[in-house]
Amino acid sequence: MTHPLDVLADAHADGERIKMARQADAARQASIPTDTPWGAVQFTTPTLRDGVTNVHTSRHGGVYLDEPHSAMMLDACHEHTTLPMRTGWSWWEEDCAWSLVALVFPDAFTPEQRKAAYRTARDWYPDEYARITQLSVTPDESYTLRKRAFEAATRECFVGFSARGDWADDVPTGTVTLSARKVSTGEAADFNIAADDYGSRDPFGFVIDEAKHRRIGN
């Protein structure tokens, strides 16, 4: 039979643990800036590693790194990142950039989160992924690498950047008027193409076949 004093001692210990956890959470909250690149902090949630915290705002969110972890990210990625660091090395937005944090600090995240991070980083940051993990990335695994290949292959071609369908008064029925640009020269022109052709365009843009697609005007 459990002695009443033992029950009281256990309850006291539980209370102390709760108190210490609350104090630690308050200290963590106090160490995080109240303003982020995405607006004012509404609330935060800890990860599995001290110094790496999820922040949430009314519009967006991401991961905040304290000063020591920011320095480690800088060391891991500096001069080897295509990521525009407009937010410095402390803030990593929640859609894609957070994945690099998970590569550098995998113990901060759950197995499922790490799996998602690896997939996201391969897709959007193949250079950083390869440097951090020492694993190669193929175009089949990476949206960014596929886009680079498309852009390299079409530098001398007109590629569409704006389209108007036959809902516009000056566009013939069943066709699309496409404004396109040639990257190598910067030249821009409009072309009239069949709507069916436009519907089967490459995900990275419609490539004009100058022998097939009628140029409008000069």
Average pLDDT rounded to a whole number, residues 83-94: 72
What phi and psi, each to the nearest 5 degrees, are found at residue 190?
-105, 145
Confidence band of 37 (pLDDT split at 50, 70, 90) = confident
pTM above 0.85, yes or no: no
For the chain, percent of residues with pLDDT exceeding 70:
80
Residue 88 has pLDDT above 90, yes or no: no
Q: Which of 154, 156, 170, 163 is nearest to 190 (CA)?
A: 163
Least confident of 7-11, 31-35, 96-100: 7-11
Q: Which of 109, 78, 72, 88 is nearest to 33 (CA)?
A: 88
User: CA separation (Å) from 113 to 53, 55, 84, 106?
Assistant: 14, 16, 23, 9
Where residue 39 falls (left for φ over 0; alpha for ψ -120 to 50; beta otherwise) is left
* pLDDT for residue 138: 97
Q: For residue 101, how far is the Cα from the chain centroid? A: 11
What phi and psi, each to the nearest 5 degrees, are found at residue 206?
-85, 125
Average pLDDT rounded to a whole number, residues 31-43: 85
Average pLDDT rounded to a whole number, residues 46-51: 90
Residues paired with 175 in a beta bridge: 194
Is the pLDDT higher at 32 or at 132?
A: 132
* pLDDT for residue 22: 47
Write out pLDDT tens, residues 132-185.
Answer: 999 999 999 999 999 999 999 999 999 999 999 999 999 999 999 999 999 999
For the chain, percent of residues with pLDDT exceeding 90:
62
* pLDDT for residue 19: 42
Most distant CA atoms of the chain, gap in Å: 97
> Rounded to whole angstroms, how far apart are CA atoms 16 and 13?
5
